[in-house]
Structure 1
């Protein structure tokens, strides 16, 4: 990579890492996994920088890379490595007087991966159905069904005092 292109890359990444980490954290619900996902994304971005910097909307391009990396993570061989014979049961969602945001995070972690990605992109990033479909590489109908199923799952998991969009 040329020195000028490398400087552009470093400048872009330095400015965007906080936003990428926020998105990764909302998707994964875990700071360490979020850091890994961001690192994976910016490494891939470095390798594809010559193509990426020509994109009409570089932020959308990189956000798509991160979300697809998150969704595809389950297909990678390392994701099947288990440290335990059986996975521990997830913590039940309880109203312990914590902020609603923490309760929502715990519930969101229990929603299937693809539905979680759709919910985060639709409601946290306020993206339209067509853009979410483009990011995830699926149809608008798939995004709508994942939205519906994801919201239904959240309604079942959340206490009634927390409002879930309709």
Structure 2
């Protein structure tokens, strides 16, 4: 591996930060996740031959930090000045997106990781299983439970799909 750790962080840091933000839903916590993961990766950077895919390795480190029981016990901070959801007119796409993210934020951590890796990182079941260190069947099970929870969530069932514009064909 030719790239230095600093070059890696400079080039791939924003993608790691985006991934962490999608996992935890908070920019400050995302920065902490990435920083803690990068500290652990840095310790192994020069001595490790298994860093042939440093981004995948570091993404897994970020995931492990997010799922860590220590972090869950230590992280009970809730911002008091920031509203839970953005206030926007009904039917606004931003409001719908914020609603969906607030519901996704309530999913159990491993289910949320699966949703983020599948739809925002565009990974398949095999790659997600590698990140989580589980079998592919476990990934499918976690995804199934996450989607069931999203389908059954009362706030999402109230959201009506927007009618599609129908264009009339001209003869």
| TM-score band w.r.t. shorter chain | 0.7 to 0.9
Alignment of 1:66-105 (within 5 A): 66-72=62-68, 75-76=69-70, 79-80=73-74, 82=76, 91=84, 96-97=89-90, 99=94, 100-105=96-101
The equivalent of 2:168 in structure 1 is: none
The equivalent of 1:161 in structure 2 is: 161
Per-residue deviation, 1:155? 1.9
The equivalent of 1:31 in structure 2 is: 27
CA distance in 2, matches of 1:156, 1:94: 23
Q: Is the partner of 2:4 in helix, strand or coil?
A: helix
The equivalent of 1:60 in structure 2 is: 56
Which structure 1 segments of 5+ residues have no match? 85-90
- Greater Rg over alpha carbons, structure: 2
Which structure 2 segments of 5+ residues have no match? 79-83, 163-171
Asked whether the equivalents of residues 41 and 69 of structure 1 are also in contact (C-alpha less than 8 Å), the reply is yes
Per-residue deviation, 1:56? 2.8
Asked whether the equivalents of residues 95 and 103 of structure 1 are also in contact (C-alpha less than 8 Å), the reply is no
Per-residue deviation, 1:35? 0.9
Asked whether the equivalents of residues 85 and 99 of structure 2 are also in contact (C-alpha less than 8 Å), the reply is no
The equivalent of 2:166 in structure 1 is: none
For this pair of structures, how many residues does the alignment match? Answer: 150
The alignment's C-alpha RMSD in Å is 2.8
Per-residue deviation, 1:61? 1.2
The equivalent of 2:81 in structure 1 is: none
- 2:148 is aligned, of 129, 145, 152, to 152
Query: Do the aligned partners of residues 94 and 109 (structure 1) sit closer, same or farther apart at CA in structure 2, a change above 3 Å counting?
Result: farther
Query: Do the aligned partners of residues 77 and 39 (structure 1) sit closer, same or farther apart at CA in structure 2, a change above 3 Å counting?
Result: closer
User: TM-score with structure 1 length normalisation?
Assistant: 0.77
- 1:12 is aligned, of 8, 11, 20, to 8
Per-residue deviation, 1:124? 1.1
CA distance in 1, matches of 2:4, 2:75: 37
CA distance in 2, matches of 1:150, 1:78: 20
CA distance in 2, matches of 1:78, 1:107: 19
Which has the larger share of helix? Answer: 1
